[in-house]
Structure 1
Amino acid sequence: MQLGQQSNYIATHFWNAQESYFTYGADEESPVDHDVHFRPGLGANGTETYMPRTVIYDLKGGFGTLKRLNALYDISEDAEASSLWPGKAVVHKQQPIGASAYQESLDSGQAPPELTTSTVRYWSDFNRVFYHPKSVIQLNEYELNSTLMPFEKWHMGEELFANLDREDDLLDRDLRPFVEEADHMQGIQLMTGLDDAWGGFAAKYVERIRDEYGKTPVWVFGAQEPVKGLPREKRLLKLVNKARVLAELSSQASLIVPLALPEETLPSNIHLDPSSPWHVSALFAATIESTTLYTRLRTADRIYSSNFSHMTDLLNVFGRQAIANIEMSPIDPTSPAQNGTNPTNARGDPISGLYDRVDDDEYESGSQKGAAHLEVDLSAPQDLRLDPGARKPKKRHVFSQVRTYRGRETENSVDEEENIDRGRFGMRRRPKVHNYRSGLAFPILDSYPTIFRGSNKSVIKEHMAMRTSLTTDSSVMDKIRRLRITVIRSIGVEDREVIGNELAEIADGYKEGWSSGSDDDDDD
């Protein structure tokens, strides 16, 4: 599911990558099981189709040049012939948005021009796939980038969902048709804005999903726009929206993964424009696609494939830790490991612990390797600085970590002693670390911006080895506490106590198992 402009940028990169994994030769077989994310069907002329299994919501004007009916479902229909009105029909049409040169080249089969931040106006400008007409849902109540009524406050999304759901049961109309045609629903992967009104829309949607599909894993990837340079009131509004979303979703979603571009300088192997949603979403999409790759690999090798339910159980070890941090490290493909030596990233630093083989028994009990920090923390580390007067966060305590590596195979080891943690009463304990690997590198397509660099400063244009991690750790507690202190007075009196208590409960869920009374901050 894709809710809003931020998520649709990310999802477009995601679907373009999925489309690139298709193989067409008789002797070729893709390592990806396309039936997980694609659905078979019939076009208007009876031809077989294979389209993304997704539901896309956006505001009026948000779809750009994307039409609900495409070349596979384009049936011309006379407005007068289909109308029940016996009189003459008057049709009012808004000036259509001109197609991008990239889309025109795809339609004509020509070599596409290079995309730039100035030529990508909408997420549909770099889209490479066809969608089923039922996937495309425009909400006309709000307009994209409106200055008169911007879709930016929590209650707007909440009210919009309530009004639409009252008129047409959204779950029955939009989601259920895709669910019922699936042989087995592994889970629901939902992408949404986390800091605007889409957060309110998503929270109410997930609540309805949970009522209907109580045992189905629901993963929420919540994107946040860069806030550097925004006025203080705008930054505070986004933080309030985020606090409300986390408070609402923590009891409904199986896993919540906040995504934000770090305010710190990025590594030298990543060059992106933080003002371009095409660039920012590309980094998010590469991380999400790499992290979830193992839920759609063919299952011939059980060790290197998984599913949402299993990965949820691995991460949420105490049952109260639904928020996970996400990190990534791009690895320079121009410096492959040879003769058993460790691979390096684009700065020449060794990347350790990539291939820790884990058998089924070890998956249940946790690998005996230490948890790792990666180069780029996309889990909004700046939230740790929200309350300057708070005590400096202690070293993070890792409860569980899912590490993934995609790219060329190598063998190496990691120092097992360096990440031993000491829990309550000084007992030695190791975090549970679960490792997945695949030789399938991340594809760099012509629709993807050239944001990755090699060790020789060259632009990487074909494939990228990548390492990612999903981690439940005590830094979530520190972020939630500081978020609560920052926004609590900006929340209406009628909701203040409820939201404050829910945020405090979320933070408490990340103390269990390691902290003692002396570890508690006085932030509350």
Structure 2
Amino acid sequence: MREIITLQLGQQSNYLGSHFWNTQESYFTYGQDGESPVDHDVHFRPGLGADGTETYMPRTVIYDLKGGFGSLRKINALYDATEDGVPQGLWNGRTVVQREQPIEPSAYQESLDTGDAPPELTTSTVRYWSDFNRVFFHPRSIVQLNEFELNSTVMPFEKWHSGEELFASLDKDHDILDRDLRPFVEEADQMQGVQVMTGIDDAWGGFASKYMERLRDEYGKTPIMVWGLQEPTVGTSREKRLLRLVNKARAITDLYAQASLLVPLAIPSVSSSRSVALDRSSPWHVSALFNAAIESTSLYTRLKTSDRTNSTSLGHMTDILNVFGKQTIVNLQISPISPPKPVQNGTNGAVDAPSGRGELVGRPHELEYEDQPDANAQNDLTTLDVDLSSLDETLGQSGARSRRKPHLFSQVSTSRGFEPAQPSDEVDSDTPRYGGFNRPKTYQYESPLAFPMLDSYPRIFRDGDSHVIQNQIRVKTVLSTDSSVMDKMKGLRTTVARSIGLEDRETIGNELAEIAEGYKEGWSSGSDDDDDE
């Protein structure tokens, strides 16, 4: 098998993870539905429930703070409370148990338990990521960190060092990898790699950095793909934005050295696309857009290997994108595309949008480059509707970002919901796809499997007439290694330099500069291409 183990670190990642696992669950087929093209063993593990029945649950470890799990309980309908045993204390006297008032399940969760038709979710009814979760997790997957409380004003979990210190303390007491991750690794027959979903602009960035160090110590050659999530900055104070950028700078310099691929993700601050409308203040909305991009671009790592042309692995994607061995950071773009024939529901496809501000997001106008390349050219960077690569490294400083056309090193372009093009008879599938001077810059993967719009998903996608898309959609994504990372790292270095303590300022500044240099190799040295104007 080609197992992938997922680590979810914090609220941002768990909103994303809930969407991700709901999507994976939707690919299961039953009865006369036909065979799914997805290899479920990649992300799901078999097991036995408390009553001896077979179970099938995600290969994931979920970390969150006290109060972050909402109504989700460690013990669910498939496992009883005796699974982990009852700890025996030394006190033989009378005990008094104090219990906090449990959080009531959402109406959506109750409908799943009763089998009734689920109510429509809105931004006001989704209080926690567990409110729209559709899958059961193994008790070992649930790890609550009681040292901090979600949204605490007394001890906020927002500084990088807080996450770093929390991991060090927990690892010293428990050996986190042995306790939490190793059981899932030992179950895998042939582990493909690890994907990590984590915030990088809060304390979870520090937690993830230390976790990655331990992962590399234990699994030195295992591909590790990190999805680095950032909260929207619109409406945030300058002080808070600067703190997030400092956290981000620290996280990037650490994760860059440890991850096989690092994909920083952020919602564009400038709106121009009509294909996506979402409430930036809702993590349910924001994580839904992230999930559509992540789930679509990684779909080909879990398709059945019978489709040799369109199945790949985390290791193969790393080899494709990290051209010179110093290009760990990659950019992600997405274009959601409405079906060719909209579903007729008596209103010609027009449906009222759910509550929320419904702001349009898309490619910012200032990133529209002159002499835009042909998107079909093999050696040019493809540009899609929504650029999710982190765009706000400069706190609005003018002139900090270059307007030059990025130089493309390599890109993975994916299309789903479209019928795959017939492969050319002249292409030998056994021919090496990279290496040497004839290496292509664009690698195309295609699948007819459209992206499902579940009842747990916010209606954030729009068709060409600005109507809400209710059912499945077609999606294009591009995961690219290009020279825009150089400008971003330079801008980040300039912005945060004076906000980092003297003991770390030079080290982090030099590391950001080294990352930027890794995106000049092979194209700009000794040429005029490095000029901004």
TM-score, L = length of structure 2: 0.86
2:409 is the alignment partner of 1:403: no
Match 1:51 to one of 35, 48, 57: 57
Task: Give percent identity, aligned residues only.
Answer: 67
Q: Is 1:441 equivalent to 2:441 in the alignment?
A: no
| Structure 1 partner of 2:478 | 469
**Are the counterparts in 1 of residues 107 and 119 from structure 2 also a CA contact under 8 Å?**
yes
Distance in 2 between residues matched to 1:521 and 1:489, nearest whole Å: 26
Change (3 A) 1:516 1:323: same
In the other structure, the counterpart of 2:390 is: 380
Matches within 5 A, 1:84-483: 84-335=90-341, 368=378, 370-383=380-393, 386-390=396-400, 392-409=402-419, 432-483=441-492
SS in 1 for 2:457: coil
CA distance in 1, matches of 2:314, 2:71: 33
Equivalence for 2:348 = none
Question: Which residue of 2 is the match for residue 39 of structure 1?
Answer: 45
Question: How far is the alpha carbon of 1:82 from its aligned partner?
Answer: 5.3
Structure 1 counterpart of 2:520: 511
TM-superposed CA distance for 1:87, in Å, is 1.4
Quote the offset at 1:411 in angstroms: 5.6
Matched letter for residue 399 of structure 1:
F
1:287 match: secondary structure: helix
What SS does structure 2 have at the residue aligned with 1:9? Answer: helix
- Give the TM-score normalised by the residue count of structure 1: 0.88
Amino acid at match of 1:259: L
Q: Indicate how the Cα distance of structure 1 residues 514 and 466 shifts in structure 2: closer, same or farther if over 3 A, else same.
A: same
Cα-to-partner distance string for 1:104-155 (whole Å, 9 max, x where unaligned): 0000111100000000000000000000000000000000000111100000
State the 1:403 CA deviation.
Answer: 0.4
- Could you report, residue by residue, the CA deviation over 1:243-290 in whole angstroms, capped at 9, with x for unpaired residues? 001111111100000010000114112111011000000000110000
The range that moved more, 378-387 or 297-306, is: 378-387
- Separation (CA, whole Å) in 1 of partners of 2:400 and 2:384: 26
Q: Which amino acid aligns with 1:388?
A: S
RMSD: 2.6
Q: Structure 1 pair 264/143, CA: closer, same or farther in 2 (3 Å)?
A: same
Q: Secondary structure at the match of 1:247?
A: helix
1:81, CA displacement in angstroms? 9.4
In structure 1, distance between residues paired with 2:175 and 2:477: 38
Kindly indicate whether the alpha-carbon contact (under 8 Å) linking 2:8 and 2:62 is maintained by their aligned counterparts in 1: yes
Give the Cα separation in 2 of the matches to 1:385 and 1:81: 51
Amino acid at match of 1:108: T
- Kept in 2: contact 1:399–1:431 (CA 8 A): no
Which residue identity lines up with residue 458 of structure 2 in the other structure? P
The count of aligned residue pairs is 484
CA distance in 2, matches of 1:391, 1:15: 37
Cα 1:84–1:46 shift into 2, 3 Å: farther
1:30-51 per-residue CA deviation (whole Å, 9 max, x = no partner) reads 1000000000001111111000
Decide whether aligned partners of structure 1 residues 383 and 26 sit closer, same or farther in structure 2, where only a CA change above 3 A counts. Answer: same
* Structure 2: unaligned runs, 5 residues or longer: 1-6, 343-361, 363-372, 424-436
Measure the CA separation in 2 of the matches of 1:385 and 1:196: 17
Mapped partners of 2:328, 2:531: distance in 1: 21
Correspondence for 1:29 among 32, 35, 60: 35
Change (3 A) 1:201 1:79: closer
Q: Work out the CA distance in 1 between the residues paired with 2:247 and 2:324.
A: 27
Provide the secondary structure at the position in 1 that maps to 2:31.
Answer: coil
- Structure 1 residues 380 and 431 mapped into 2: Cα distance closer, same or farther (>3 Å)? farther
1:109 counterpart letter in structure 2: G
Distance in 2 between residues matched to 1:485 and 1:151, nearest whole Å: 25
* Distance in 2 (alpha carbons) for counterparts of 1:432 and 1:373: 14
What do the CA deviations read for 1:357-409 (whole angstroms, capped 9, x no partner)? xxxxxxxxxx9464310110000223367542447342100100000000132
Cα distance in 2, alignment partners of residues 307 and 78 from structure 1: 35
Amino acid of the residue matched to residue 135 of structure 2? Answer: V
Cα separation, 1, equivalents of 2:90 and 2:479: 55
Q: Which residue of 1 aligns with 2:349?
A: none
- Checking the alignment, whether the CA contact within 8 Å between 1:370 and 1:430 is kept in structure 2 is no
Question: What is the alpha-carbon distance in structure 2 between the residues aligned to residue 241 and residue 455 of structure 1?
Answer: 39
Question: What amino acid is the match of 2:328?
Answer: A
Cα deviation per residue 1:330-379 (whole Å; 9 max; x = unaligned)? 0110459xxxxxxxxxx9xxxx999x9xxxxxxxxxx9464310110000
1:12 to 10, 14, 18: 18
What letter matches 1:372 in structure 2? T
Inter-partner Cα distance in structure 2 for 1:183 and 1:513: 39
Q: Residues 401 and 491 of structure 2 are in contact (CA less than 8 Å); yes or no, is this contact kept in structure 1? A: no
Task: Output the amino acid matched with 1:470.
Answer: L
CA distance in 1, matches of 2:480, 2:334: 11
1:147-198 Cα distance to aligned partner (Å, 9 max, x none): 1111000000000000000000000000000001001110000000010000
Distance 1:95 1:405 in 2: 47
User: Residues of 2 paired with 1:301 and 1:159: CA distance?
Assistant: 45
Q: Distance in 2 between matches of 1:135 and 1:298?
A: 25
Cα pair distance change 1:430/1:33, threshold 3 Å: closer
Aligned partners of 2:263 and 2:331 also within 8 Å: yes
What is the distance in 1 between the residues matched to 2:374 and 2:16? Answer: 28
> Do the aligned residues in 2 keep the contact of 1:368 with 1:430 (CA within 8 Å)?
no
In 2, Cα distance between the equivalents of 1:80 and 1:170? 21
Distance change in 2, residues 1:24/1:79 (3 Å): closer
What CA distance in whole angstroms lies between the structure 1 residues aligned with 2:84 and 2:26?
A: 37
Q: Matches of 2:275 and 2:112 in 1, distance apart?
A: 30
| Contact map agreement 2:379 2:408 (CA 8 A) in 1 | no
Q: Which amino acid aligns with 2:181?
A: L
Tell me the amino acid that sits aligned with residue 156 of structure 2: P
Deviation at 1:75, TM superposition (A): 3.0
Change (3 A) 1:371 1:71: same
Alpha-carbon separation, structure 1, partners of 2:295 and 2:65: 25
Counterpart CA distance in 1 for 2:177 and 2:86 is 32
Q: Distance in 1 between matches of 2:243 and 2:399?
A: 21
